[in-house]
Chain A
Amino acid sequence: MTKTAFSSLLMAPVNALMRIVDAPLRRLQKATGISGMAAFFLAPNMLIFGIFVLLPLVINFVYSMTGGTAFFLSERSFVGGEQYARLFSCVDYLDPMSCQEDAFWTAVGNTFWFVLLQVSLMILASLVTALILNRDLVARSFWRAVFFFPVLLSPVVVGLIWKWILQRQGLLNYILYQFGAEPYSWLTDRTWTFAATIGVSIWAHMGLYTLILLAGLQAIPKDLYEAAEMDGTRPARVFWRITLPLLAPNLLVVVVLALIKAVQVFDEVYVLTGGGPGTSTLYLTQYIYETGFASALRNPGLAAAASILMGLVLVVLTLLQLGVGRRSENKGKR
């Protein structure tokens, strides 16, 4: 059987269905005109957006101003700004333990340091990788794929892979053992676990940013480099005067994108450490998840208030990205 015959056999029922759908839609078109059809095509997507994104967004504010453990709004009592007041009631803002919601401020602090370290180290690693991949390489697409591989893995798989490597009888201890070190339980040490969440999330995501930066590098006109070579410019100067300035728009986009992702860190960390040991890797999304759903003392209102505060940070970052993106687009057009 030829390929086309096979696909036409496969498409036959679909095409029949489409013909059946066509008749009522023709009547609709006659009744509403072409602009009505535009609304028809847009409707399913907008309906889903409306129900599952916009409506929750609005309800979230209502939630954050109600109390109790019930999930249905009709069963919740209005408490005004009490949840926010609770989040912000601290004796000393620099010490999470002095706050009423110490877990929230611990999560905020952890997330802050995570974002700062993860984003800066990851962008540095991605930039170096992109610069290397941009050289005259044999099999460049192969090497590009190598660094992209972990991006496709599910966060759960990423978490488990590294949990397996970092455990006491794991590969890391085995490698260190070859150099004479004693096995160590990395994931029971607060500092090492925190470092592990940063390292693992860099490992899992740097391929994406490498890819975007590499696309930016390849868009830089080659004749600039040829001209620099003719003038005998030193490579370091070429990098600071040509590569970096021309890559700057891409770099900014990538930084903001990485910031947005890092603020929401959850999946792989949750599987790797579960937020522990203690609260050393408790990040914001996990705090919201546990406050809203998982803990015995669940408080959806408090979780909603915390998620709105996180949403505000994300809105600022996204607007920054859109602004940066537009500016770099304009630059490209000039």
Chain B
Amino acid sequence: MGAAARFILRRKGGPGGRGWHWTDIVTWVWLIGGLVIMFGPAVWLTFSSFKTPAALNEFPPSILPYVTSQATVEGYDKPLQLYDAKMPDGSTRVLAEVRRIGIMAQMVDPKAPGEIIRVNINDRTPVRSVSFATENYTEPFVHFDFLRYLWNSVFVTVVATLITLIVNSMAAFALSKYEFRGRNLAMLIILATLMVPLSVIMVPLYSIISTLGMFNSLWGVILPTVATPTGVFILRQYMLTIPDELIDAARMDKASEWQIYWRIVLPLTAPALAVLAIFSVVWRWNDFLWPLIVLSRRELYTLQVGLSIYSGELNVQWHFILAMTVVTMIPVVLVFIFLQRFITTGIAGTGLK
């Protein structure tokens, strides 16, 4: 531990070096604080998602999910709560509570249920053990059509990303490898769409989707989002670096334009396509406002819409909501762990998101 800390905290200046400056202290306070603040909330949510409803209502809350132990005792129908009770002689016994009257609890020894022992409620603490309430994760599949939402989200994400890649790469190919009249106009139009976020056009867009019969359809969620200006720009910038000689050579060999696009340009654009694919998956998985408008039937909800609707209900079943939130987080966390550096270089390179 000490060695690890020394390794992480060592200055690149070399061993010993110039010693600690106040800016080093600020740096490490900021970084460690950042680590706690950025990851802490998500970790806290994940721990909470394994708690039973009773444990969720506790204050002060515990970090790990605890459940109070219960035992079935001979002569009693319902399982009884187990407590560590302090006896008058100073010893501690595990007792089951039968009932509580005022500040006195009537308890029995599970092994010898005949005798009732009266204990002051301040002298007993519940027996608790760490237990993960995995039913929070399994029950929403039954209660909330959770599998349906999961499927809808996956469908929207995958289909929208595929269409985005094809449509945007075709446009980028045309804009980078052909000279034609109206090319600048096309570029300008695409640039202009950067200025038109959904929040500005949602009313008329809704009427267009309805007219096309795509209201309450996953296609109504997918289609308006697939022609991303960002995607066209990323791909076009990349295709501009592909030498035109390659294309001229292919034309000499009687390759059709479609073959040039499909067999030469697209494979060479693979790195940029990968970046766009990652972006698109995160965008579409996280989409909220537009699906909220288009989808009004429960069986069509995506995870994000389902989550927000259920969390807004009067009687919020937090134990389910938390578990569903964790599941919704999983793909994005996977992207973060394995593909984060593609995204960060993509953003740092283009300044777009």
Residues of A contacting B171 with CB < 8 Å? 41-42, 44-46
B20 within 8 A of A: no
A284 to B199, CA, bound (A): 9
A97 within 8 A of B: no
Interface centre among B37, B282, B336 (most CB of A within 10 A): B336
Residues of B contacting A55 with CB < 8 Å? 204, 208
- Tell me whether A49 and B288 are in contact (CB under 8 A): no
On whether A37 and B257 interact (CB within 8 A), knowing A141-B341, A271-B311, the answer reads: yes
- Tell me whether B311 and A57 are in contact (CB under 8 A): no
- Tell me whether B258 and A21 are in contact (CB under 8 A): yes
- Tell me whether A264 and B311 are in contact (CB under 8 A): no
Interface centre among B26, B35, B322, B347 (most CB of A within 10 A): B347
A267 to B289, CA, bound (A): 7
In chain B, what residue has the closest Cβ to A50? B189
Residues of B contacting A39 with CB < 8 Å? 174, 180
Residues of A contacting B321 with CB < 8 Å? 160
B332 within 8 A of A: yes
Residues of B contacting A156 with CB < 8 Å? 286, 288, 304, 307-308, 325, 328
- Tell me whether B60 and A177 are in contact (CB under 8 A): yes
Residues of B contacting A271 with CB < 8 Å? 288, 308, 311-312
A-side binding surface: helix, strand, loop or mixed?
A: helix
A132 to B30, CA, bound (A): 8
A289 to B288, CA, bound (A): 12
A306 to B349, CA, bound (A): 35
A59 to B58, CA, bound (A): 53
Contact bitstring A150-193, B, C-beta under 8 A = 1, else 0: 11111111011111110011110110010000010000000000
Residues of A contacting B205 with CB < 8 Å? 52, 56
Q: Of the listed stretches A114-122, A206-214, A223-231, name the one at the interface; the rest are far from the partner chain.
A: A206-214
- Tell me whether A264 and B197 are in contact (CB under 8 A): yes
A163 to B34, CA, bound (A): 20
B57 within 8 A of A: yes
- Tell me whether B174 and A212 are in contact (CB under 8 A): no
B314 within 8 A of A: no
A289 to B293, CA, bound (A): 8
Contact residues, B242-281 vs A (CB, 8 A): 256-259, 261-262
Interface centre among A62, A154, A170, A212 (most CB of B within 10 A): A154
Q: Of the listed stretches B73-81, B94-102, B117-125, B220-228, name the one at the interface; the rest are far from the partner chain.
A: B220-228
Contact residues, B177-233 vs A (CB, 8 A): 178, 180-181, 183, 186, 189-191, 193-197, 199-208, 210-211, 223-224, 226-227, 232
Name A59's contact: one of B13, B196, B208, B262 (CB within 8 Å).
B208
A10 within 8 A of B: no
Residues of B contacting A292 with CB < 8 Å? 202-203, 206
**How many chain B residues touch the partner (CB < 8 A)?**
101
A284 to B39, CA, bound (A): 30
B42 within 8 A of A: yes
- Tell me whether B39 and A138 are in contact (CB under 8 A): no
In chain A, what residue has the closest Cβ to B201? A56
B335 within 8 A of A: yes
On whether A46 and B189 interact (CB within 8 A), knowing A38-B174, A177-B60, the answer reads: yes
Contact residues, B19-73 vs A (CB, 8 A): 23, 26-27, 30-31, 34-35, 37-39, 41-42, 44-45, 48, 56-61
B340 within 8 A of A: yes
- Tell me whether A29 and B311 are in contact (CB under 8 A): no
B161 within 8 A of A: no
A46 to B172, CA, bound (A): 11
Contact residues, A105-119 vs B (CB, 8 A): none
On whether A54 and B189 interact (CB within 8 A), knowing A149-B38, A156-B307, the answer reads: yes
- Tell me whether B328 and A154 are in contact (CB under 8 A): yes
On whether A212 and B256 interact (CB within 8 A), knowing A35-B178, A160-B321, the answer reads: no
Rounded to whole Å, the gap between the CB of B353 and the closest CB of chain A is 6
Name A132's contact: one of B13, B27, B38, B190 (CB within 8 Å).
B27
Rounded to whole Å, the gap between the CB of B313 and the closest CB of chain A is 12
- Tell me whether B27 and A53 are in contact (CB under 8 A): no
A48 to B203, CA, bound (A): 17
- Tell me whether A164 and B48 are in contact (CB under 8 A): yes
Pull 18 A–B residue pairs with CB atoms less than 8 Å apart, ordered by A.
Answer: A38-B174, A42-B186, A45-B171, A48-B227, A59-B207, A136-B13, A139-B8, A149-B38, A157-B332, A163-B311, A171-B41, A212-B351, A266-B289, A289-B202, A292-B203, A307-B200, A308-B200, A310-B200
Known: A45-B170, A155-B288, A318-B194. 19 other contacts (CB 8 A): A21-B258, A22-B258, A26-B256, A46-B186, A53-B224, A54-B189, A59-B207, A60-B200, A143-B31, A145-B344, A146-B39, A155-B286, A157-B325, A160-B322, A161-B42, A174-B61, A264-B199, A293-B202, A307-B200
10 tightest Cβ-Cβ pairs between the two chains A and B: A45-B171, A154-B286, A38-B178, A41-B174, A215-B348, A48-B227, A56-B204, A59-B204, A52-B224, A56-B201
